[in-house]
């Protein structure tokens, strides 16, 4: 029999918890950065037995969070504060979750921290978090904090009394503060993981703030890190802006143009140019060009012009395709009412 199985029975536990009912959840002291408009703030009080959680209070600048409860072995599930034989203790107005044994027993929370990931000047986020969980300590133990895919650094865990308890056991605030470096996604997933002997969670409060770390760029917007991918660096007496204007592979295209085009600045055969135009007997136009995925993620635009002698030369966008390294292909049915005579491929930063 495990230590968890030696816990007092659920019925006996509930009888004790009835005597421990207290007032509403008392929020923790917000972090000094809580007033930043990009701060995510969430409070979960578990008012019902739905394992897909909805925040009872939420400030979400960039997108709705998602959260769920997973139950481990020997769990009593949701504890209803109005049911005298299944009472949460703690907050008298809301329920609690007996998660059972960890690590299977856990509360998982995905937070949307920003909207910059994937941008051409985006490098990563540095994230600060402060999280508080109200937990019962006697027949269950306090949980731990885990992070999926990234690493918590400067993690500090502090415990303090949450609710008065004249009978037995203690309701504790377990508070974590930490930082997360080099986050390359717009969201992270945090987990409050039950102790191996089980954890009973009455409330969870979350603060998180992501700061964008932008990539250093040249005056024309070429990321310095892009040059490093090709082992390019300024020569003595020059700087990165000078390197931007050079044609390092002698193909007639400056380095900054190679970046926007997504091509290789060290390969003379790799530069943005049309290689083939065909018109089939049934009037299908086929375009092929050399491109690359070494630059921005924006699609290639296909533009057409009916008459080069037009005084305004009104090029119009007639299609777009995701970038491909090497040969890119696009085709369209020619419109007899407005035949196109000229085409060009455009890459945007």
Q: Is residue 290 part of a domain?
A: yes
Q: Is residue 125 part of a domain?
A: yes
Task: Give the three-state DSSP class for 258.
Answer: helix
Answer whether 104's CB lies under 8 Å from 72's CB: yes
Residue range 183-239, pLDDT digits in tens: 999 999 999 999 999 999 999 999 999 999 877 889 999 998 899 899 999 999 999
Domain that holds residue 234: 224-261
Q: Is residue 132 part of a domain?
A: yes
Residue range 119-176, pLDDT digits in tens: 767 888 999 999 999 999 888 899 999 999 999 999 999 999 987 655 667 889 999 9
Give 310's pLDDT tier (boundaries 50, 70, 90).
low
- The length of the chain is 349
One domain, residues 113 and 83: yes
One domain, residues 247 and 283: no
Residue 252: CB partners within 8 Å, gap ≥ 6? Answer: 271
Bridge-based pairing state of the strands 52-53 and 66-70: antiparallel
Residue 312: CB partners within 8 Å, gap ≥ 6? Answer: none
Total number of domains constituting the chain: 3
Residue 162: CB partners within 8 Å, gap ≥ 6? Answer: 26, 90, 134, 171, 172, 173, 202
One domain, residues 256 and 147: no
Answer whether 128's CB lies under 8 Å from 155's CB: no
On the question of pLDDT at 240 being above 50, the answer is yes
One domain, residues 183 and 238: no
One domain, residues 113 and 199: yes
């Amino acid at each position: 029999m495990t230590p968890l199985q030696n816990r007092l029975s659920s019925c006996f536990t509930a009888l004790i918890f009835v005597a421990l009912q207290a007032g509403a959840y008392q929020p923790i002291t917000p972090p000094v950065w809580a007033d930043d408009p990009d701060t995510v703030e969430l409070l979960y009080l578990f008012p019902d037995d739905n394992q897909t959680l909805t925040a009872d209070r939420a400030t979400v600048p960039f997108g709705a969070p998602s959260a769920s409860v997973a139950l481990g072995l020997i769990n009593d599930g949701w504890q209803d504060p109005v049911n005298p034989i299944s009472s949460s203790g703690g907050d008298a107005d809301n329920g609690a979750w007996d998660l059972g044994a960890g690590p299977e027993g856990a509360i998982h929370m995905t937070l949307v921290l920003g909207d910059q990931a994937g941008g051409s000047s985006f490098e990563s986020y540095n994230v600060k978090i402060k999280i508080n969980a109200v937990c019962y300590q006697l027949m269950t133990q306090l949980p731990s904090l885990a992070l999926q895919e990234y690493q918590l650094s400067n993690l500090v865990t502090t415990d303090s009394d949450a609710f008065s308890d004249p009978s037995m056991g203690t309701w504790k605030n377990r508070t974590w503060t930490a930082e997360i470096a080099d986050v390359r996604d717009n969201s992270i997933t945090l987990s409050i993981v039950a102790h191996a002997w089980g954890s009973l969670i009455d409330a969870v409060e979350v603060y998180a703030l992501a700061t964008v770390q932008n990539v250093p760029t040249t005056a024309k917007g070429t990321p310095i890190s892009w040059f490093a991918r090709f082992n390019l660096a300024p020569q003595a007496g020059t700087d990165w802006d000078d390197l931007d204007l050079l044609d390092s592979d002698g193909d007639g295209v400056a380095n900054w143009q190679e970046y926007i085009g997504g091509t290789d600045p060290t390969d003379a055969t790799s530069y943005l140019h049309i290689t083939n135009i065909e018109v089939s007997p049934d009037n299908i136009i086929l375009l092929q060009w050399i491109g690359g995925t070494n630059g921005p993620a924006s699609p290639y635009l296909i533009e057409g012009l009916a008459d080069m002698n037009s005084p305004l030369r009104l090029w119009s966008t007639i299609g777009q395709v995701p970038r491909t390294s090497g040969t890119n292909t696009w085709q369209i049915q020619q419109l007899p009412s407005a035949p196109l005579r000229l085409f060009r491929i455009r890459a945007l930063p």
